[in-house]
Amino acid sequence: MIKTTRLLLPFTHGVEMETLEAAVGLAASHHATLVPLSLIPVPQTRGKGARLEHIQQSKDFLEATQQKALRHHVPLERFEAFTSDIVRSIALLVPRLAGDGMILALRGRNGSLLSAKMIEQLIAISPCPLYLIYLPSKESSWMSRLRERLSHWWPGHWQRAEKPVLRPLPPGEQAVPEIALSRYAGSPDLEQSSRP
């Protein structure tokens, strides 16, 4: 049996169709199984659960990814995890989900599907090979020119944004975050077509 490549696509917020299209296209070009991993943040304090809007965004992300994958005939395995430490959870789930690589997306200076800070941390620890997708900024050209001119007057603010500092995660002395992982059933049509 031939082992197929598995590419993880982590998500916390902001369902962007252009990013999903690019990720599915990348998986198709590598003949890979796409593994969308929706991470729902939960507070560390006991008794407080996940916010309803985060749960709804997770469902929207998993559904939109499935539709894109079906259109491009890309095998798909969807997962959802509730966690209080997103980046550490991703690093811990990479081997558990047999991830051969991870797709991360940047839109200008901002992250897409994950925050820019989370992407910086994942690049710093590099839990597996990373595939970076660069998307054009949604910022208008006059706004970017204005930002460039103002950066000379207020250099500290913009320079910090241009040159992010990559920091490794804290050492393993901290408690490992609890992760509640659930698998979503794939599309029956896609599962049947992927079987020999």
Query: What pLDDT does 45 receive?
Result: 76
Query: What single-letter DSSP state applies at residue 113?
Result: S
pLDDT digits (tens, 9 = 90+) for 104-133: 999 888 999 999 999 999 999 988 999 999
Could you tell me the residue ranges of all domains in the chain? 6-184
Which residue would you say has higher pLDDT here, 175 or 75? 75
Q: What is the mean pLDDT of the chain?
A: 79
Strand partners, 179: 83
Helix (H, G, I), strand (E, B) or coil at 36: strand
Enter the tokens of residue 166.
């990559």
pLDDT digits (tens, 9 = 90+) for 1-54: 667 899 999 999 999 999 999 999 999 999 999 999 999 999 887 767 888 899
Under CATH, which architecture does the 6-184 domain have? 3-Layer(aba) Sandwich (3.40)
Nearest Cα to Cα of residue 54 among 46, 62, 44? 62
* N- to C-terminal Cα separation, the chain: 11
In this prediction, residues 125-150 reach a mean pLDDT of 74
Q: How far apart are CA 73 and CA 90, in angstroms?
A: 26
